[in-house]
Amino acid sequence: MVKNYISVTAGKDIGEANAILNEFQKAGYSLDRGYAPAVGIQISEKTMKGIKPNNFRMARFEDVPSLVELVSVRAMPVIHYNTKNLDTLFSQISKAFENSYSHCKLVQVNANFPEKSQLEKIKDKFNELKISLQIDYRGLDLEDAANKIVAYGDCADYILIDPSRGTGHAFDFDSSTDFYLRIKDKRPEYGIVLAGGFSGDNAEGILGKVIGKIKTKDFSICAEGQLRDRVSDEHWGQDILNIEKMRGYLLAVKRVFG
């Protein structure tokens, strides 16, 4: 059984993670009631090799074990794993969780439609690990995309619906809610995570509209880009966490979910 959560990404270092945890606590979130507070920690195949990223949201790989341990006391740590080399996904995830599995039981795989066999091997090795798949369904028929997703069976636990692909662009209400309903109709046990441009200014209105259409609060949400301030246009992701923006988002979501 999956647990719904409210997530802030990214906790790239101890300072950022502590700031997120403190705001969750101030807003009244806790692991023992309601929607779980969650902190997304981003790593990639490159950062695992010690390559310094241009993206400021990425954690240093050597810091990840201490980060997930810190987060796990007050929230649900979620490792967001980015890769383009899907043929070696199992070995990459194995390395990513080598020293973090004891404190982190959820990985978000940011790789579109990985092979089921790779996920099966991950599940065999880490039998308590939940897998969230970020699916890019742009350009696909929603019914066809939903059928491809449910073919993963028990190898997937959560499906992330984020047409913006982490860029913070405005939430796509029509396609996201339609996709939610199609997946839940075919695989009701899957957890669905909605993302795409959530902020303190819009979360309450968007979520109310979503709930009005799908007739349930059975979903998780994740916010990232709109909670950060850009410091450079040289590369994507060169931004820093804005505490005030995060606080507004958490309070707005709390008003919806209680």
Here the CATH number for the domain that contains residue 240 is 3.20.20.70
Q: By residue range, what is the domain housing residue 43?
A: 5-257
Query: DSSP character for 30?
Result: B
Along the 258 residues of the chain, how does pLDDT read in single tens digits? Answer: 799 999 999 889 999 999 999 999 999 999 998 899 999 999 999 999 999 887 878 999 999 999 999 999 999 999 999 999 999 999 999 999 999 999 999 999 998 899 999 999 999 999 999 999 998 887 889 999 999 999 999 999 999 998 765 555 678 888 899 999 999 999 999 999 999 889 999 999 999 999 999 999 999 999 998 999 888 777 766 778 999 999 999 999 999 998
Q: What is the pLDDT of residues 102-119, one digit of tens each?
A: 999 999 999 889 999 999
Are the beta carbons of 131 and 107 closer than 8 angstroms?
yes
Residues in CB range of 186: below 8 A, 6 or more apart? 146, 147, 150
Are the beta carbons of 177 and 183 closer than 8 angstroms?
no
Q: What is the pTM of this model?
A: 0.94
Number of domains into which the chain is organized? 1
Task: List beta partners, residue 179.
Answer: none
Question: How far is 129 from 102, CA to CA, in rounded Å?
Answer: 10
Are the beta carbons of 32 and 75 closer than 8 angstroms?
no
Region for 156 from its dihedrals, namely left if φ exceeds 0, alpha if ψ lies in -120 to 50, beta otherwise: beta
